[in-house]
Amino acid sequence: MRVTVLGCGASGGVPLLGCDCAVCHSPDPRDRRRRSSVLVEQGATRLLIDASPDLRAQLLDAQVTRIDAVLFSHAHADHCHGIDDLRLICRAMDTAVPAYGDAETLAELARRFGYAFEAKTTSWFRPALEPRTVNGPFAVAGATVRPFPQNHGPTMVTLGFRIGPFAYSTDVSDLDDDAFAALEGVETWVVDCQSIEPSYVHSHLERALGWIERVRPRRAVLTHMGHDFAYAALANRLPEGVEPGYDGLELVMEDGR
Ligand SMILES: [Zn+2]
Ligand SMILES: [Zn+2]
Ligand SMILES: [Zn+2]
C-alpha cells in the first residue's frame, strides 16, 4: 500500500496570503503546503480522500488520471472546493466516480455542487459523481474502508478513515473510544496538527502527540499544518516515529488487505 500526501496545509494553505512571518517566506519547499488531501493506493485500487481547492495541481504532480472513488471527510471548503477538477478524472475514465461521505456531508455537497451529482454521463463541463452514503464500513474496488466519526469542534463531525494498515484523521479536535478502537494496531497514521496553541476545532501539537502516544503507530505523520510550523525545526523536536508531513510525501506500508 502506498499513500501520497497531496497536501498537508491548513485551510488557508502555507504561505498564507498576506502574511509576513518567517514560515510563509521560508525557502524550504517543505514549508509550502497545499490544502489537505491524500491519495491511497492499495494494489490497483486508488482512493482520493478529499478534493482540496488545490486539487488540479495536486493531481498533476501525482500524475493521477483515474481514481476508483473519492471519500469526503466533511464539507468544509478546504476539503471539497476542488470538486470541479474531478470532471477531468471522470472524462479521462469515461465513467462516473463514486463519492463517499456521511449523510450530512453529501447533502451539503449536493446543495453547493448539485451540478456535479446530476450528470448521468461524463462531459468536459461537469464532474459526474455518484453519492454513496457512509453508515459503517464499506468496500470499494476491493479495498475495505472503516470510517469513524471524529469531533471537529463542538458542533461538527468529520469522518476519519481506516484502510488496512493506514488511517487518516484530519480536522479533529477530539477522538472518542470508538475512534481509538478503529485506530488500534494502525501502522501509519496521518493526523491533524494545525497549530502550537490549542484550538476548539483542530488538534494542536501537544494533543496530537498525546493521541500518538496512546495509538502507538509505527509511523505518525502530522498534517493540516498552519504557519506555526517550519518543517525542519518541527522535525527536529518530534519524538521518534513522528514526523511532519510535506506535500508529495509517499508513505509505503505492507498491504494489510
Ligand atoms: Zn480543514
Ligand atoms: Zn505566516
Ligand atoms: Zn474542517
Instruction: For residue 41, give the CATH number of its domain.
Output: 3.60.15.10
Q: How many independent structural domains does the chain possess?
A: 1
Distance 216 CA to ligand 2 centre (A): 31
Q: Which ligand has the shortest distance to the CA of 173?
A: 3
Please name the amino acid found at residue 160.
Answer: G
C-alpha closest to that of 73 among 47, 105, 45: 105
For ligand 3, the distance from its centroid to the CA atom of residue 156, given in whole angstroms, is 8
Model pLDDT, residue 236: 98
Which residue in 16, 53, 5, 62 sits closest to 229, CA to CA? 16
Cα 78 to middle of ligand 1, angstroms: 5
Find the 76 Cα to ligand 3 centroid distance in Å: 5
- Cα–Cα distance measured from residue 229 to residue 233, given in angstroms and rounded to the nearest whole number: 8
Asked if 165 and 254 count as a contact pair (C-beta separation under 8 A), the reply is yes
Closest ligand to Cα 76: 3
Rounded alpha-carbon distances, angstroms, from residue 248 to 30, 97, 103, 117, 235: 9, 24, 31, 29, 16
Residue 171 domain-assigned (yes or no): yes
Residue 257 placed within a domain: no
Q: How far is the CA of 213 from the centre of ligand 2 (A)?
A: 29
Residues of the chain falling short of pLDDT 50: 257
CA of 94 to the centre of ligand 3 (A): 31
In order of 103, 244, 255, the CA distances from 205 in angstroms are: 31, 11, 29
Domain that holds residue 149: 2-135+145-251
The DSSP symbol for 136 reads S
Q: How far apart are CA 211 and CA 172, in angstroms?
A: 11
pLDDT for the residue 256:
54
Give the Å distance between the CA of 74 and the centre of ligand 1.
Answer: 9
| Domain assignment present for 98 | yes
